[in-house]
Amino acid sequence: MRFQLTAKTGHPDFLDLPWDHPLATWDHHRLVEMPMGIHRHVVRTVAYGERLYHLKELPRRYADREWRFLRYLRGEQVPVVDVVGVVTLRDTPNGERLDAVLITEHLEYSVPYRLLFLRQEHQAIREPMLDALVHLLVRIHLQGFYWGDCSLSNTLFRRDAGRLAAYLVDTETGEQYEELSTGQRDMDVDLAIEKCAGELLDLQAAGVLSDEVDPFELGLELRDRYDQLWAELTRDEVFADDERYRIHERLRRINELGYDVDELELVQDEPGVTRMKLKTSVVEPGRYRRILRQLTGLDVQDNQARRLLNDIHNFGAWLQQDEGRSLPEALIAHRWLERSFEPVVEIVPHELRGRREPAEVFHEVLDLWHKWSTQEGTDMGLFNAAHRYVAEILAMMPEERRVAPADGDDETADALPDPMADTGTLLLEDVARLAADLDPGDPAVEQLGDGAAATSDRSEDARRVE
C-alpha cells in the first residue's frame, strides 16, 4: 500500500485505515455512521477513542489548497475547523492513482444551520445567525482571504452566551491575497447572499422555515450589517483638534465589538483637522477571549468570554467587600474558578455534559438564576439555580457535542424546540412524548423526577463555595 500522509502532531497516525481503496468503498471498524447532507465529494467519519475525524476525498490540488488555507486562517485566529492532515499519492493494489483525502477534526458542540432552524423558530436565531456570518466574513476579509463559497452549509455554528459563533468549514474555492479590493469583497458578499437565500428557500420547501420569511430580505440585511461592521473597523475618522475625545470613542466601540487596535496612524492634512487611519492588518479579534484565557486558562467563544469576565468583575466586587481589602485581578479570577465556575459545571452529571459546553452552561445558569429569582421575589442562590437548570432544562436538551456537520436532515425532522431559545417553547405534551421514549433508568429521567434539589439556600452575597 503506497500513500503519503502529511499530518499535525497530537493526533492519531491514521495508518490503520485502508488508504489504498476509494473512500466510498470502505468497510472499517473505525467508521462512524453520521447523517451527512449533500456534498460535492465523498465524506466519511472515523473515530479514535473520544475524538471524531471527517475525511473528505477530493482532487489533490484542491486538498493541498484547503490544507494550506485552513492552516493559515487558523494561525491568524480566524474561526475555522481544525485541519489535521492530508493524504496524497494514494494507489490501489492495481497501481491506480486515487484522489487525495483531507482530514479535519470534528468541531465539538457545533450545530449546522438546518438543525438550528429545526429546534428554534427563525425569529430566535435570525439576529445571532446573521451577526455570526457577518463577523466571519469580515474576519477572513481582513486577512485578505476571498472565500468564494460562503454559505450556511459551509459554516458551522457554536452557541456563544446566547448568541452564535460561526466557523468556516470549506475553503477549496478560496484565494489568498495580500489585501482584498472593494470589488472582491463585494463579490464575496453577493455570492454569500445568493447561496444563503437559496438554502433558506430549500428550508421553506421542506416546511422547516415559514413562508412568511423572505430569504432575499435576509440577504440584503446581511449586506447592510457587513457594510456597517467593515466601516466601523476600517474607515478613516476625521476630527478637529478640539475633538480628540473621538479617538477614544472610536477605539471603545471597536473594543466592544471584540477587536483590538494595536496601533493607529494620525495624519494632519491641514491645520486644525486630523485624520485617524486604521489598517486592517492591525485590527485583531478575540480581545475578550485573550483576556479571559490569560486570567483563567479557559478557551471559550467571544461573547462567552465577555459574559464570564463580567461575572468575574461582579464576583471580585463582592469578594473585596467581604474581605475588606483590594485584591489582585489574577487572585480574583482564581477564586472565581474555584468557588463559582467549576462548582456549577460539576453539578452537571457526566451523562448530560455533551448537551452544552461548560461556558454555555454557566452562562445559561446565570441567566436563569436572575430570571427565577426575580419571579420568586427572592434570591434562590446560584447553585440552587444550577440544580434546577440541570433537572428542568438541560435534561430535555438534545446532544450537541457530536452533531454531524450536515445533521438535521430527515432523521431530525421531529426535533423538539430548544428550551433556552427566546421563542422556543417546551410544551407539556412534548415532555410527555419525550419521556415516553426514554429509558426510566436514564439519569436524565431520574433528574426530572428528583426536581431541583438544592445544596444550600444562599443569598447573592454568599453564592460562592466557601
Amino acid at 185: R
SS3 content of the chain, % helix, strand, coil (to 5): 45, 15, 35
Query: Which residue from 172, 175, 126, 174 is spatially nearest to 152, judged by alpha carbons?
Result: 126
Instruction: Indicate the domain borders of the chain.
Output: 4-105, 110-234, 237-277, 288-462
Helix (H, G, I), strand (E, B) or coil at 76: coil
Look up the CATH superfamily of 110-234.
Transferase(Phosphotransferase) domain 1 (1.10.510.10)
DSSP-assigned letter for residue 144: T
More confident residue, 260 or 399: 399
Cβ atoms within 10 Å of 450's Cβ, excluding its own: 13
Grid look-up 460539576 returns 346
* pLDDT for position 456: 36
Cα(355)–Cα(338) distance, integer angstroms: 23
Q: Is residue 241 classed exposed, middle or buried when 0-12, 13-18 and 19+ CB atoms within 10 A define those classes?
A: exposed
Task: Give CA 226 to chain center in angstroms.
Answer: 19
* pLDDT for position 124: 80
**Cross-strand bridge partners of residue 274:** 239
* pLDDT for position 427: 36
* pLDDT for position 79: 92
* pLDDT for position 133: 95
List, for residues 28-40, the tens digit of each pLDDT value. Answer: 999 998 755 557 7
More confident residue, 7 or 158: 158
Grid look-up 454568599 returns 462
Q: What mean pLDDT is predicted for residues 122-137?
A: 88
* Three-state SS sequence of 395-454: HHCCCCCCCCCCCCCHHHCCCCCCCCCCCCCCCHHHHHHHHHHCCCCCHHHHHHHHCCCC
Least confident of 53-67, 116-130, 328-342: 116-130
Decide: 267 and 274 in contact? Cβ < 8 Å.
Answer: yes
Task: Give residues with Cβ within 8 angstroms of 91, minimum separation 6.
Answer: 1, 2, 3, 20, 97, 98
Cα(106)–Cα(116) distance, integer angstroms: 18
Highest mean pLDDT of the ranges 108-117, 220-229, 236-245: 220-229
Decide: 156 and 116 in contact? Cβ < 8 Å.
Answer: no
Cα(216)–Cα(219) distance, integer angstroms: 5
Alpha-helix runs per DSSP H in 286-357: 287-296, 302-323, 329-336, 342-347
**Cross-strand bridge partners of residue 69:** none
Query: Which residue from 9, 155, 147, 152 is spatially nearest to 65, judged by alpha carbons?
Result: 147
**How would residue 297 be classed by pLDDT, with cut points 50, 70 and 90?**
very high
List, for residues 195-223, the tens digit of each pLDDT value. Answer: 999 999 998 998 888 888 888 888 889 99
Stated pTM of the model = 0.76
Output the furthest CA–CA distance in the chain (Å, rounded): 79
Cα(134)–Cα(443) distance, integer angstroms: 40
Task: Give CA 126 to chain center in angstroms.
Answer: 15
Grid look-up 424546540 returns 417
Query: Which residue from 27, 208, 211, 223 is spatially nearest to 120, judged by alpha carbons?
Result: 208
Task: Decide if domain 4-105 falls under CATH 3.30.200.
Answer: yes
Cα(45)–Cα(104) distance, integer angstroms: 10
Pairing between strand 83-88 and 100-105?
antiparallel
Helix (H, G, I), strand (E, B) or coil at 168: strand
Q: Is the pLDDT of residue 465 over 50?
A: no
Q: Is residue 217 classed exposed, middle or buried when 0-12, 13-18 and 19+ CB atoms within 10 A define those classes?
A: exposed
* pLDDT for position 110: 87
* pLDDT for position 363: 95
Helix (H, G, I), strand (E, B) or coil at 134: helix
